[in-house]
């Protein structure tokens, strides 16, 4: 009984030592697993990434299992080893995606020669050219696309026009705005016309494209302004008072000659008058959707209609 009692008194101590040993073992295992995971992710002290067909490497720091609390100096050493490996492999460039939560890594990358390519939402993309000579990496998107809709009532020869509330000059123009990402220009034209005027319409053709560089409304970048021809489906005006000062159905002949308009609006008004007189086939760039060869998706091609050839 004494031996049993002694053993019983020892058991809590033994259990504590066993529990402590297990906890230590778990901590050691976790550290080894983390190092093993880092090794698997990084190879021989190198970051992993996807190699593109041009020989560049894209590394997304938010997807490769980096510790969320990695220090700037630790990342710098990891990046240095990666660059040595990529240069030895003859890689052409590195694209480094840095989530905002790891923005300190951007500072470390800058010390190795990386520069900002672009930033979007919650991440920035940095690049480093590893090839010979000057960098041949493409610049980020440098244009914004504005789309306007010329809604023509063919029965009356009138077109829908607005005067912007935020402009210094109250000039007549076609309703329109910036195209959203991934939005076709015809969809933009129809959407913007309805949002500004309350008039519903449908896309018919592309009429003109204006290109302007160093545009003040495009952060000093370039601007593409596209005007589409639309056919009205409704006629009642209910314009947006936050954006528009006035909105009317105006005779095309008057719009083409008035001084209260912009040069491009007057020019397109004359183009539309020509279309009314000769037929819109003489001015329209119609749209055809064609499957893309490489991506498996579709694109929109705008061109003058081809003549119909009848087979004998």
For β-strands 201-212 and 222-232, DSSP reports them as antiparallel
Confidence of residue 74 (pLDDT cuts 50, 70, 90): very high
**Are 163 and 237 within 8 A, CB to CB?**
no
Pairing of strands 176-178, 286-291: unpaired
Both structure tokens of 112 = 């190795």
Tell me the per-residue pLDDT of 171-195, one tens digit each, with 9 for 90 and over.
Answer: 999 999 999 988 999 999 999 999 9
- For the segment 251-264, the average pLDDT, to the nearest whole number, is 95
Query: Distance between CA 159 and CA 136 in Å, rounded?
Result: 47
pLDDT in tens, 16-59: 454 454 544 444 434 433 343 343 333 346 899 999 989 999 99
Quote the mean pLDDT of the chain: 86
Domains and CATH numbers, the chain: 50-129 (3.40.630.30), 143-288 (3.90.79.10)
* Helix/strand/coil for 74: helix
- pLDDT of 168: 65
192: closest CA among 146, 140, 231?
146
- Range in 145-149, 165-169, 186-190 with the lowest mean pLDDT: 165-169
pTM across the whole model: 0.73
pLDDT digits over 89-104, tens only? 999 999 999 999 999 9
Least confident segment among 80-84, 158-162, 186-190, 292-296: 292-296
Mean pLDDT of 186-206: 98
Contact (Cβ atoms closer than 8 angstroms) between residue 163 and residue 245: yes
**Residue-wise pLDDT tens digits, 104-120:** 999 999 999 999 999 98
pLDDT-based confidence at 310, cuts 50/70/90?
low
* Among 216, 224, 188, 219, residue whose Cα is nearest residue 203: 188
Cα 311 to Cα 298: distance, rounded to the nearest angstrom: 29
Q: Among all residues, which ones are annotated catalytic?
A: 195
């Amino acid at each position: 009984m004494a031996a049993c009692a002694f053993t019983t008194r020892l058991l809590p101590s033994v259990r504590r030592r066993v529990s402590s040993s297990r906890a230590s073992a778990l901590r050691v295992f976790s550290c080894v697993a983390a190092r093993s995971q880092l090794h698997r992710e990084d190879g021989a002290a190198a970051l992993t990434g996807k190699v593109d067909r041009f020989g560049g490497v894209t590394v997304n720091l938010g997807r490769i299992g980096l510790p969320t609390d990695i220090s700037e100096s630790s990342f710098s050493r990891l990046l240095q080893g990666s660059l040595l490996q990529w240069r030895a492999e003859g890689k052409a460039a590195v694209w480094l995606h840095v989530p905002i939560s790891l923005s300190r890594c951007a500072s470390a990358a800058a010390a190795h020669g990386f520069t900002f390519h672009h930033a979007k939402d919650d991440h920035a993309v940095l690049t480093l050219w590893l090839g010979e000579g000057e960098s041949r990496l493409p610049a980020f998107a440098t244009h914004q696309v504005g789309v306007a809709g010329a809604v023509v009532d063919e029965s009356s020869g009138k077109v829908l026009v607005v005067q912007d509330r935020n402009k210094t000059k109250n000039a007549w123009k076609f309703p329109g705005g910036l195209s959203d990402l991934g939005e076709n220009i015809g969809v933009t034209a129809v959407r913007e016309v309805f949002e500004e005027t309350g008039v519903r319409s449908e896309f018919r053709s592309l009429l003109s494209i204006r290109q302007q560089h160093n545009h003040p409304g495009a952060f000093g970048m370039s601007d593409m302004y596209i005007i589409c021809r639309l056919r009205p489906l409704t006629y009642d005006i209910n314009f947006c008072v936050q954006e528009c000062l006035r909105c009317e159905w105006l005779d095309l002949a008057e719009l083409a000659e008035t001084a209260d308009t912009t040069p491009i609006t007057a020019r397109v008004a004359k183009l539309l008058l020509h279309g009314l007189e000769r037929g819109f086939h003489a001015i329209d760039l119609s749209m055809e959707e064609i499957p893309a060869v490489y991506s498996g998706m579709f694109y929109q091609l705008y061109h003058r209609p081809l003549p119909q050839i009848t087979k004998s």
